[in-house]
Structure 1
Amino acid sequence: MDINQTVIIIIITGVVTYMGWQNRALQERLIFWPPAIKDGQYERFVTHGFIHADGMHLLFNMFTFYFFGRIIEEFYRQYLGGAGFVLFYLSAIVVAMLPSYVQNKDNRHYASLGASGAVTAVLFAYILFAPWQLLYIFGVIPIPSIVFAVLYIVFSIQAHKRASDNINHSAHLYGALYGVILTIVLEPKVVTYFWHQLLNPGWF
């Protein structure tokens, strides 16, 4: 029987996040902090994706990841001997943060945590396969996934420019871009499939 990799990632993330809440020193050792990475602690590129600031941060990311990860996992598991999905997720954590690192590598006051970049990569990979599938904002407001994608990108770009909150909108943008590009690279036919689906919404 195949192991559900999505659930395993969620369990590990929950356990590590809880440990970080209980041990501030551990959380500080795992968090994305550019000066430490610059000094050679490269594992922080990955470890920051397994800790979260609070319960709502963890719940939102893992709730989203659970619903879309299970679907995208089926596509990515056919690569690298079944490890494709795990490597996709881990690499998305890293790639989503590369621009933030370049911009803040000498900024001792900058820190980031959470799996949002990787979760966004999974979500946007899903949108390639189902652009008209309804997503439910806050669990109740239905919106076609392609419409959500456009609004999400526009919002993230504007929010990144304003930089008026503590959310790393850059990671969201680059995570989304990575999810789309890697999926297309692995299976170029998905572009044709996407356009066919986009031009033929099933609910018309």
Structure 2
Amino acid sequence: MGKLDLITIIIIAANVILSYKGFNDFGFFERHKFNIGSIRRGEQFRMLSSGFLHADTAHLFFNMFALYLFAGQVIYEVGQYSFFIIYMGSLVAGSLLSLYFHKNEYHYSAVGASGAVTGILYAAILLNPEREYYFLFLPSRIGDVDLGIPGYVLGIGYLLYSIYGMKNRIGNIGHDAHFGGAIGGYVITLILSPWLFETNLLMIGLLALPILLLFGLKKAGKI
């Protein structure tokens, strides 16, 4: 389980307060959600403000619960200040990738902290790529078989699924924001923790593969 450091509490509180404001004030929600047309008319603040709004309480809960699970790992490795930079940078990176992929869809809208949270997830995996993760509500072992999934497998698998989701527009999910957040988490963590190039160079390369694949597919016009 994650650890509730002060910065995590502040971020969760900001998400809860602003999301509930949006739940009860339609005008506030509409003025601050991610919307391509509004952003292209100059309202770039939406690329940040939309990350503190959510569609409903379930959306808010799952994002904040995921943040709770992974925030402590990142804070332990890089400190609260760097964690905050990764979180906010990932949020913006998620919005930028959404803007890049939907720039001509003027009515495209989105909300949620998913990009920022995915950035924290990818940062946690980059910092401890061989740490094993387990599914909630499922046993960690069956007999002598360990059901843990190494972090780098989880990270690569998640981004490959995100590419599939983007290509096929699966569900009402901002797969591009998730992917952009992961890119933000990956790049910013490497900038803030250059020692990783000495200790985890192979994993850095492996975790970059889905990112290279995405832009390769985009260049080829297949996504």
Check whether the contact 2:118–2:182 (CA below 8 A) recurs between aligned residues: yes
> In structure 2, what is the Cα distance between the partners aligned to 1:9 and 1:84?
14
Check whether the contact 2:37–2:107 (CA below 8 A) recurs between aligned residues: no
TM (norm. structure 1) is 0.84
Deviation by residue 1:110-132 (Cα, 9 ceiling, x = unmatched): 00110111111111111112222
> In structure 2, what is the Cα distance between the partners aligned to 1:129 and 1:76?
9
Give the deviation of 1:106 after TM superposition.
Answer: 4.1
Are residue 187 (structure 1) and residue 188 (structure 2) matched? Answer: no
Give 3-state SS (helix, strand or coil) of 1:11's partner: helix
What are the residue-to-residue correspondences of 1:40-51 with 2, within 5 Å? 40-51=42-53
Please give the root-mean-square deviation of Cα atoms over the aligned residues, in Å.
2.2
Q: Provide the identity percentage.
A: 33
Give the number of aligned pairs. Answer: 192
Give the deviation of 1:43 after TM superposition.
Answer: 1.1
Structure 2 residue aligned with 1:202: none
Q: Taking structure 1 as reference, are residues 150 and 102 closer, same or farther at Cα in structure 2, changes over 3 Å only? A: closer
Give 3-state SS (helix, strand or coil) of 1:176's partner: helix
Aligned residue among 120, 123, 131 for 1:122: 120
> In structure 2, what is the Cα distance between the partners aligned to 1:11 and 1:134?
29
1:47 corresponds to which letter in structure 2?
A: S
Structure 2 residue aligned with 1:168: 174
Deviation by residue 1:46-102 (Cα, 9 ceiling, x = unmatched): 11010111122111111111121122124443xxxx643323211211111112213
Structure 1 residue aligned with 2:131: 133
Structure 1 residue aligned with 2:28: 26
Check whether the contact 2:66–2:117 (CA below 8 A) recurs between aligned residues: yes
Structure 1 residue aligned with 2:207: none
Give 3-state SS (helix, strand or coil) of 1:108's partner: coil
1:29 corresponds to which letter in structure 2?
A: R
1:4 corresponds to which letter in structure 2?
A: L
Answer with 12-21 or 87-96: which moved more. 87-96
> In structure 1, what is the Cα distance between the partners aligned to 2:202 and 2:43?
45
Q: Unmatched 5+ residue regions in structure 1?
A: 199-204
> In structure 1, what is the Cα distance between the partners aligned to 2:81 and 2:157?
32
1:161 corresponds to which letter in structure 2?
A: K
Aligned residue among 86, 100, 103 for 1:102: 100
Give the deviation of 1:192 after TM superposition.
Answer: 3.2
Structure 1 residue aligned with 2:217: none
1:175 corresponds to which letter in structure 2?
A: G
Q: Taking structure 1 as reference, are residues 132 and 75 closer, same or farther at Cα in structure 2, changes over 3 Å only? A: closer
Q: Taking structure 1 as reference, are residues 136 and 29 closer, same or farther at Cα in structure 2, changes over 3 Å only? A: farther
Give the deviation of 1:103 after TM superposition.
Answer: 3.3
2:154 corresponds to which letter in structure 1?
A: F
Give every structure 1 segment of 4 or more consecutive aligned residues whose post-TM-superposition deviation is greater than 6 Å. none
Give 3-state SS (helix, strand or coil) of 1:137's partner: coil
Check whether the contact 2:120–2:185 (CA below 8 A) recurs between aligned residues: yes
Q: Taking structure 1 as reference, are residues 138 and 53 closer, same or farther at Cα in structure 2, changes over 3 Å only? A: farther
Check whether the contact 2:78–2:193 (CA below 8 A) recurs between aligned residues: no
> In structure 2, what is the Cα distance between the partners aligned to 1:102 and 1:131?
29
> In structure 1, what is the Cα distance between the partners aligned to 2:17 and 2:183?
29
